[in-house]
Chains A and B, each alone.
Chain A
Amino acid sequence: MQFGIFSVGDVTPDPTTGRTPTEAERIKAILRIAEKAEEVGLDVFATGEHHNPPFVPSSPTTMLGWVAARTENLILSTATTLITTNDPVKIAEDFAMLQHVADGRVDLMLGRGNTGPVYPWFGKDIREGIPLAIENYALLHKLWREDVVDWEGKFRTPLQSFTATPRPLDGVPPFVWHGSIRSPEIAEQAAYYGDGFFHNNIFWPMEHTKRMVRLYRNRYAHYGHGTPEQAIVGLGGQVFMRKNSQEAVREFRPYFDNAPVYGHGPSLEEFTSQTPLTVGSPQQVIERTLSFRKDVGDYQRQLFLMDHAGLPLKTVLEQLDILGEEVVPVLREEFAKDRPAGVPDAPTHASLRARARESADSEAVTK
């Protein structure tokens, strides 16, 4: 099982000091946090993609390229890459390039984006969100698998004799996760291709997450990729930890109360009972995270949101220390217990390359 963090990349005033970091400070902080993820033994760092303030990460592969050079084991990913408003040709090229730069330590999570004006800013129509996600991914999928592509679709200029460059590293496209909170069409899309499905449940009651994941698992089996239990599932999580839970609650409350997205709404207590947010001791975070398995079955990737709402870099780095030292080792051990033999790990470049070679070999034998 993979553990990691995902960053939204918001530039938010620290409510306890009123100070807002500059864009430069925040960008450097995100990069430091990514580096730290590897130092504390996490598996994945994923960045969001946004095209409106107060968010800074508009150019994920630029950031991830820097992180690639500074790390050795960390998988670089996104949460999410906008499959609706980006040109799938550019996604194909950017992430194939990143694969080469990072020696294959790359996957990506596709999402539609929920900021209305981004669609018209990029010349798209939000009412076409699902069709854009479907058509653009169909093209992206093809560009990574066929050297020369002829293409005609509804949304993009046709392509004749086009080759996306560079070709994916070792001829193996990056693994793709499809992220969606509410749309069954996207769970269906992930299932159809045998790709991963990530439910970013951090602002949602588990009951809903459970139903979306169940749909994806059943459809994954329907399309013949394996049993429902073998489908590739990822979940979000959001935690703040101190040695004892009172201390954690006291320190995190001002950040919670003023957070973009959920601040000034439900109380911290209501929100923690209705969503996966856990504010407390490392042990509480361990117990809560382990409980996700009861709801969605054995899964492959757990990403935590750690750096947002104006939390200072120093605090985030402390949180990552606790996560890496006290929480993730226990989670690895506990999740491994009673995990059925048939449940796969999340695909990596190495496992996908091995699989590709196997099938090439068996084709060669049958020929």
Chain B
Amino acid sequence: MTEFPLQSGERPAAEAPDDLADDPRFSADEPVSPSGPLRVVVVSAGLSVPSSTRLLADRLGEAVARDLGAAEVPVRVDTVELRDLANDIAQNFTAGFPGPKLTAALDQVTGADAVIAVTPIFTASYSGLFKSFFDVLDQEALTGKPVLIAATGGTARHSLALEHALRPLFAYLRAVVVPTAVYAASEDWGNTDGLNRRIDRAAAELAALLAGTGGRRAAPAADPLEEVVPFAEQLAALRVQE
């Protein structure tokens, strides 16, 4: 398989919280402040603990934070570990609704100003867990959102899966995917020059997109349960006789 476990102790600093729902950062009710720091959410689908996917995810998050910091744009980077949500995601499919922990993660991605999506490559494509998360995410959640795509694998032979699988997925979701996609093969971890350059380039592209907003957060999408289309308009669209 393509997952590349790290030695213990090598795991990067940011820990995935044990219980997303209990973590105030993941609270669905947290008000989205238009003037607060930009929120970058990293979605990592690595399976080992620790995983090379998470390592790449953290490197990308740090690089984006560094670039925005240099541009004096306040930013907060949070990580969603899909491994911790594997059962909840499967149960969303059978039950039809997300449990509290998954709801918190979905809300976090929906409320993000940018997303960094990182998956191991399994069987010539993104992992099933990675796809499943985006399957249960609202179809409009990523519309217009800057997204950086990245993947890990055992060999560089799978790197174009980023272009053939991930990029169309996010294009379908109407995300704005940055031009550089970052692939890290096992060998890249021993020869980080090329990988570092790709990380820096992709991060700079995402940071530029975000800095282009002047550091202002995008207005959250209208909540259909708060702003309903008036019935007269629904009728008028059909020109139904009253």
Contacts and interface: CB of A to CB of B under 8 A. Distances in A.
Chain B interface size range:
20 to 34
A130 B235 CA distance: 11
B70 interface: no
Nearest to A187: B228
Contacts of B94: 262-266
Interface stretch (A44-52, A146-154, A279-287): A146-154
Interface stretch (A6-14, A200-208, A320-328, A338-346): A200-208
Contacts of B231: 188-189, 191-192, 223
Interface string B221-242: 0001110111100110111111
Interface string B65-101: 0000000000000000000000000110111110110
A200 B93 CA distance: 19
Given A184-B224, A262-B94, A264-B94, A154 B238 contact: yes
A214 B225 CA distance: 9
Contact of A219 (B96, B224, B228, B238): B228
- Grouping DSSP codes into helix (H, G, I), strand (E, B) and loop, the B interface class, with mixed when no group exceeds half, is loop
B238 A212 contact: no
Contacts, number: 79
Nearest to A134: B234
Contacts of B97: 203-205, 208, 274
A209 B237 CA distance: 28
A211 to B, nearest CB: 5
Interface residues of A, number: 37
Given A184-B225, A215-B228, A274-B100, A203 B95 contact: yes
Q: Max chain B CB contacts within 10 Å: which of A142, A204, A205?
A: A205
Contact of B99 (A189, A215, A263, A266): A266
A138 interface: yes
A138 B96 CA distance: 31
Contacts of A188: 228-231, 234
A224 interface: no
Contacts of B90: 265
Contacts of A211: 225
A142 B240 CA distance: 11
Given A154-B240, A203-B97, A265-B91, 18 more contacts: A134-B235, A134-B238, A134-B240, A135-B238, A138-B240, A153-B238, A153-B241, A154-B239, A208-B97, A215-B226, A219-B228, A223-B231, A261-B96, A265-B95, A266-B95, A266-B99, A270-B99, A274-B97
Q: When A and B form their complex, which 7 residue pairs have the shortest distance between CB atoms, in order from nearest?
A: A265-B94, A192-B231, A138-B240, A184-B228, A266-B91, A265-B95, A188-B228
